[in-house]
């Protein structure tokens, strides 16, 4: 489909460049031709960014909470309609008035062809089990479509691009490789786990139930257990803070990634309230992940980089483990150089808050379309310059 939109851009760029080249070349010679080419390239790039309405399968940059599309599921609680953020990944948002809460959620279709999961890999023989990384940077480096922070970890806390060795609480498996072992009990930190096989069969189990992980491709852990067979497993009350959680629908078809933000517009949530939000979005099973200032939900932005969906109370925290989803097999190598603290190459990644673009790079139609237009348009220009110089050459 992108070709339908790019082809006219190529033709317009070529015609425009040739016309400018002829006009300026007649008056100023080769320097005029070069100036015309530069002007056309600049205007083409500007037009493509200005008209960036070309459909992109990974973008939901225009998503906003829309009261006209929201459904009042309970008194004072409204949930927006599902937005197709990416093939197999839907996004929505829920809001409540008393207490004020904003819940961001992604619904991932585990039966969608090509979707795969990834968590932070082991840093092998370096300090700790993993090397800390923000959720946004994890998404950017691994070419993911969405990601959420995962296991509790120690020591706390590092921020932004700070890199520290971390030991994880509870089970963690990345690409079928054990990163951190099962917790001692369900009540221990990291005592409840989300287990996902290579064919996206997912289940939630506590530490005592986990006996065989040979078929597990990805695992992350947290706690407490919030939902089991549709029933809330935590008591009402408790303090409110930002919360991260994952859940499964009763038929295990959908996996939910959810963050309830704590900000000027949202009070955060208790464990019980977090469980209720998971229920409202369609989950029957659920567990809490590392929360508080760690809570981060991120999506890929259409022009590169990432969008942090929830507002943060501080600089984005660098986590010991993250869970992401991507399409196909185009991810970083099995051993991520970022996980090696001794590596001398660490690309700079910027992050931002509240759904704004971070780490935005030049990509999209200009990368392929603009470059192609330049190459195509240079052919007649070279021919014109040859004829021009031939006409000026003195006769022998």
Q: Span 10-37, mean pLDDT?
A: 53
pLDDT band at 68 (very low <50, low <70, confident <90, very high): confident
Question: Each residue of 103-112: pLDDT tens digit?
Answer: 999 999 999 9
Q: How far is CA 27 from CA 22, 24, 33, 34, 264, in A?
A: 9, 5, 10, 12, 62
Question: Each residue of 301-346: pLDDT tens digit?
Answer: 877 789 999 999 888 999 999 999 998 755 554 545 445 443 333 3
Q: What's the sign of the alpha-carbon dihedral 204, 209, 215, 217?
A: positive
Question: Each residue of 72-121: pLDDT tens digit?
Answer: 999 899 999 899 998 899 999 999 999 999 999 999 999 999 999 999 99
Contact (CB, 8 A) for 200 and 179 = no
Q: What is the pLDDT of residue 6?
A: 42
Structural tokens at position 278: 């998971």
User: Which of the residue ranges 178-192, 352-366, 382-396 would you say has the lowest mean pLDDT?
Assistant: 352-366
- Whether the predicted pLDDT of 38 surpasses 90: no
Q: What is the value of pTM for the model shown?
A: 0.71
Question: Each residue of 193-216: pLDDT tens digit?
Answer: 999 999 999 999 999 999 999 999
Triad 105, 111, 113: Cα angle to 5°: 105
**What mean pLDDT is reported for the chain?**
78
How far is it, in rounded angstroms, from Cα 306 to Cα 325?
Answer: 14
Please name every residue paired with 133 in a beta bridge, in sequence order, or none if there are none: 319
Contact (CB, 8 A) for 365 and 48 = yes
- Whether the predicted pLDDT of 298 surpasses 60: yes
Structural tokens at position 343: 């590596």
Question: CA gyration radius for the chain?
Answer: 26
Q: How far is CA 187 from CA 183, 191, 205, 206, in A?
A: 9, 6, 12, 9
Q: What is the pLDDT of residue 309?
A: 95
How far is it, in rounded angstroms, from Cα 63 to Cα 177?
Answer: 36
pLDDT band at 51 (very low <50, low <70, confident <90, very high): very low
- Whether the predicted pLDDT of 265 surpasses 60: yes
How far is it, in rounded angstroms, from Cα 23 to Cα 27?
Answer: 7
Strands 101-109 and 254-260: antiparallel
- Whether the predicted pLDDT of 361 surpasses 60: no
How far is it, in rounded angstroms, from Cα 206 to Cα 223?
Answer: 9
> How many Cα atoms within 13 Å fall on the side-chain side of residue 273?
25
Longest dimension (CA), the chain: 99
Q: What is the pLDDT of residue 66?
A: 78
Q: How far is CA 319 from CA 81, 160, 184, 349, in A?
A: 31, 10, 22, 15
Q: What is the pLDDT of residue 330?
A: 54
Contacts of 306 (CB under 8 A, 6+ apart): 136, 139, 140, 298, 299, 300, 351, 357, 358, 359
Structural tokens at position 290: 């590392």
């Amino acid at each position: 489909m992108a070709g339908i939109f790019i082809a006219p851009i190529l033709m317009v760029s070529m015609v425009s460049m040739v016309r400018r080249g002829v006009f300026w070349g007649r008056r100023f010679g080769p320097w005029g031709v070069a100036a015309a080419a530069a002007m056309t390239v600049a205007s083409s790039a500007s037009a493509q960014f200005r008209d960036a309405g070309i459909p992109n399968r990974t973008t939901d940059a225009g998503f906003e909470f829309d009261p006209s599309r929201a459904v009042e599921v309970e008194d004072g609680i409204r949930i927006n309609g599902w937005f197709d953020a990416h093939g197999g990944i839907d996004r929505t948002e829920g809001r409540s008035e008393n207490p004020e809460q904003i819940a961001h959620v992604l619904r991932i279709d585990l039966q969608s062809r090509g979707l795969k999961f990834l968590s932070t890999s082991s840093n092998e023989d370096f300090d700790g089990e993993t090397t800390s990384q923000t959720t946004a940077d994890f998404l950017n480096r691994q070419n993911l479509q969405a990601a959420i922070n995962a296991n509790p970890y120690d020591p706390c806390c590092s921020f932004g691009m700070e890199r520290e060795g971390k030991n994880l609480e509870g089970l963690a498996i990345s690409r079928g490789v054990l990163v951190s072992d099962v917790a001692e009990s369900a009540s221990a930190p990291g005592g409840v786990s989300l287990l996902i096989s290579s064919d996206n069969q997912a289940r939630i189990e506590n530490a005592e139930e986990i006996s065989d992980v040979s078929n597990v491709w990805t695992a992350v852990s947290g706690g407490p257990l919030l939902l089991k067979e549709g029933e809330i497993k935590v008591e009402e009350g408790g303090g409110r803070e930002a919360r991260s959680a994952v859940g499964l629908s009763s038929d295990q078809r959908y996996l939910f990634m959810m963050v309830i933000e704590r900000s000027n517009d949202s009070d955060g949530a208790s464990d019980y309230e977090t469980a209720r939000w998971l229920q409202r979005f369609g989950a029957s099973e659920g567990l809490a992940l590392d929360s508080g200032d760690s809570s981060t939900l991120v999506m890929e932005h259409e022009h590169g980089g990432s969008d942090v969906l929830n507002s943060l109370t501080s600089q984005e925290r660098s986590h010991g483990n993250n869970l992401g989803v991507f399409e196909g097999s185009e991810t970083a190598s099995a051993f991520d150089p970022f996980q090696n603290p001794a590596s001398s190459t660490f690309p700079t990644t910027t992050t931002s808050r509240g759904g704004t673009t971070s780490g935005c790079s030049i990509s999209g139609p200009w990368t392929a379309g603009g470059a192609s237009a330049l190459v195509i348009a240079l052919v007649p220009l070279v021919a014109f310059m040859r004829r021009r110089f031939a006409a000026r050459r003195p006769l022998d």
